[in-house]
Structure 1
Amino acid sequence: MSLGSQAHRRCASLALVLTFVVLLLPSLVSAQDEAPPKVDLFIGYQWLNPGGTVPVGSNPPFQPPPPPVPTKLPSMPIGYGVTGTYNFDKWWGLSIDVGGNFQDLATESTISVGPRFMWRGENINMFAHTLLGLNRLSPKDVNSSNGIGAVLGGGIDLKIWKSLSFRLIEADYVLGRHNFADVVPITESHLRHPVLEGARLRTGLVFNFGGGGKEAPVAASCSVDHNEVMVGEPVHATVSASNFNPKHTLTYNWSSTGGKLEGKDTGASIDTTGLAGGNYTVTARVSDPKAKKNNEASCTSNFTVKEPPKNPPQVSCSASPTSVQAGASSTISCTCTSPDNVPVTVGGWTATGGSISGSGNSATLNTTGAPAGTVTINATCTDSRGLTASSTASVTIENPPPPPPQANKLNECQYPNKMKPWRVDNTCKAMLDDAALKLQQDPEAKLVVVGNADPKEKRKNLAAERAVDVKAYIAGGEAKQNIDPSRIETRTGNEGTMTSEQWIVPSGATFPEADSTTAVDETKVKAIPDHPKPAAKKAAAKKTQ
């Protein structure tokens, strides 16, 4: 591969790289918002590698000119470039480009028109353009060819000052299509219509005309959410910056002539706790650390702090419940507020009876040991300035209700008669008369009779018979007590003794041994008369019937 071909490829690659840089870098770096010039004019040096093989003639003395010879054009280090661009806005412009390069074997010149895209930074501009126009090639001793040409590429400009920039580099792909059919034989078709695919490099000065209007001065405006506040109330301040570069991050500094200030970005909060009444000023300073000039603005806003009137707090207390039995407790709750909206606390709890304990807005009254009657509880509310107010609540202590009625075992009958182990003897009858008297004295009470039997006693249902015999005696026995049988309940127990137990159960009480005894089925177990009729007399009576 020839040196010219290598140079051509490198230059074309550089042009493509510059184009990608111009298109992609703006998304990574902040742009400048300054108005662009109306017109910019580039004048500078141009190097060209034509990138093609063309017919080159010769003119020997005293001989007819020979046919042109295919010649690979070498690079042309002598050249010039001029580009004038009218800018529609900060991004787009229309360019007219003129360039020319010279070499012993040929001369190539271009004139092209097309759009240009430019990204404008703080001190650097990058552009890409696509141009179409005329490509004129003049090989040695061959008629010149005016062909269709195109230029694709881009470059980088460095700002020197507002009206002048330095074009660090411009790299372009240069295309030219030519026709030498009038001088090249038809047998050499590739030489009759050669295509130049060249690369050019430029550097020079860019002159800027018009545009770039004077920057509007940066400004800041401050405001507060409340122009007047009471001592202790916060003040919120905000700042709005204008005419700064929106691509830059701004720095905000806050200060205040009073209060505790906490500022962040465009907002600040001033704590007025402890401030004396009066007028105060909050100041915001906004700066752009990236801008070299016109980069700082400040503003202020005023607010007034008023001392509140010293009104005492207001407190009210209530008890829940308001009535308790001795030994129970009640919760006392107090609500305390300040008309001046200052902090308040509740304390100083006292009570005329029982004991009181609590913290904050509630306390507990313990009435253990307190006599029946009304107990007054007092609490004091104090604000942050020492002003106080008191309130009371009352709790009524009631005597405890009488204990619930209890069943009690009245007496217990023994059954010593081995012949009639069910028989209610006179000793037992006296006890049962006492039980009947209790039932007569308390019409709401009932009697529970629990019959027991010794395990050695083999008679079936003996415990139940003892219970039903007791019931039969009380309900209609010799003493004619005539107690309603429905008030007498018969049960069997497991004491393992030859006894019956008589329990008086008042109204509202329960029999305590219900779970350990069993109710008697009186449809199966009947009372045994104390003096049953002889069996013979029963039989004779049946026969006479």
Structure 2
Amino acid sequence: MHSRLLTSLSRILLVGCAVGVGASSMYGQSSTSTPPEAPTSRIDVFLGYSYLAPKGSVATPQADGTTFTDSYSSINAGAIGSVAYYFNKYVGGQIEYANHPDGNNDGAQTAQAGIIFRFPVQGMTPFVHGLAGGVRLGGPNDEPFAAHPYTWGPALTAGGGLDYDLPFMNHRFGLRLFQADYEYFHANFGPEVYVGGRANPGNARLSTGLVVKFGNITPPPPVQYACSASPTSVFPGEPVTITGTASNLNPKKTATYTWSGQGVTVSGSSSTGNIDTASLAPGSYTVTGHVAEGTKAGESADCTAQFTVKAFEPPTVSCSANPSTVKPGDSSTITATGVSPQNRPLTYSYQASAGTVSGTGNTATLSTTGAPAGSVTVTCNVVDDKGQTASSTTTVSIEQAPPPAPKTQTLCTIQFDHDKKRPARVDNDAKGCLDDVALNAQRASDATLVVVGNTAAPAAEPAKGRHHHEHMEADLAAQRAVNTKDYLVKEKGIDASRISVRTGTTGTNEVDNYLVPAGATFDTDVTGTTAVDESTVKPQARTAPPAHHVHRKTAVHPAPGATSN
């Protein structure tokens, strides 16, 4: 009997393994990816084939006072069905009915209930169970004795098995690769002869079949929470908003939100928090958000978001001048263009290495009055309301001042009041002055000389003679100028072409001497003189006797009574 029990058990295990391998192969052909996790069922209904191998005997009393002992045989044909209701993912209650008829009044029917434990894994569900109930058991039937009638008695079952999830209809079907149980039966057939006795067989039961799954007790997905900061980088004083996004919340429950952060105060009790960064130092900050709809696992979640407070950036400034080159005394406009990265208010100031600069806005004026020729450096300064500064420079070139236009120089003056008889004669007293005139002319070889003769106005006289004396005065002034030029040419060797003669209106008996440098204009510098026509006024020798009163047709009339030295 033991050999038959082992042989049958081996057959059942081989069949179960073959079916499991075939199902696995079929599943593998249906998809090359990892199979999705099957839902955890609420109710499992099992229907299948069952093999029963009892080990035990019945001692039946005989009429002759002896006892006949007969042993149970294995029952190859059987059916089994069970319903398991799970309270959670792992524990449930189970009822089971199994029928193993033999046809010889020695079969067994069981109806039991108990507890079942399962351990779902990917694609497989191992389980163990313990059952208690009743068994309707018949006795062994060996002719010529009468069969023992079916009798109800207690039954106990302990065992386990392995279910394989089939990839059909969202894993609602499974294959029970095997269910292996040990069962204990007790039956009391009574004291009757031929049909009495007691049976206490221990049974090995092997089953396989199809599992149909109903319902779903997979726990809801855990609450998830994600946070984000906007913006992620700010300057002190700029607001930051933290937004939390929760998923897998139960719409029937009310979620609560809280915010926290090290060194950060977050206001708000909803999924949005606000941060005032005015008092925050530059650096990185982390804010933690918490959402909860209950106290159980999976009913709350945390999230974090980061933001950065940047240090205020200093302003920048550029500086330009227009025009960049000026003449001495002219002005230039200085333009400063300041930029604050945070649009802070800016204040401008200026300094100049020469001249004066004025202005407080983004433009200023550089005055070069009194500044020497060359480059002037102008510094443009800007400061924001946080005390951060920036500077930039520009240059203005002051042109070299042109040399002043040459001017006619006044030299010495010679007098003609000593020789009353020869009022136009250049006497010895004039030598010192004219030596100096000649020396100036020699030093400035490109200069010219102008000698201007003058005469004093005569005393009042009748009108009929006034015109005659005025004409004589003009002639005397011209003669004095011509005589002075003659002295400079003959006595001092000055080229006659360098000397011009003119008459003036000073009303004095003298000759004024002028040095006219190259580029100077005598008529501009000295006004009121008249050029002498040297073709009509001839020079007089210094030793010539005094001239008589003779009317000449010349432009010069010597004064009456002029004498020579």
TM-score relative to the length of structure 2: 0.35
Question: So what's the TM-score if we normalise by structure 1?
Answer: 0.36
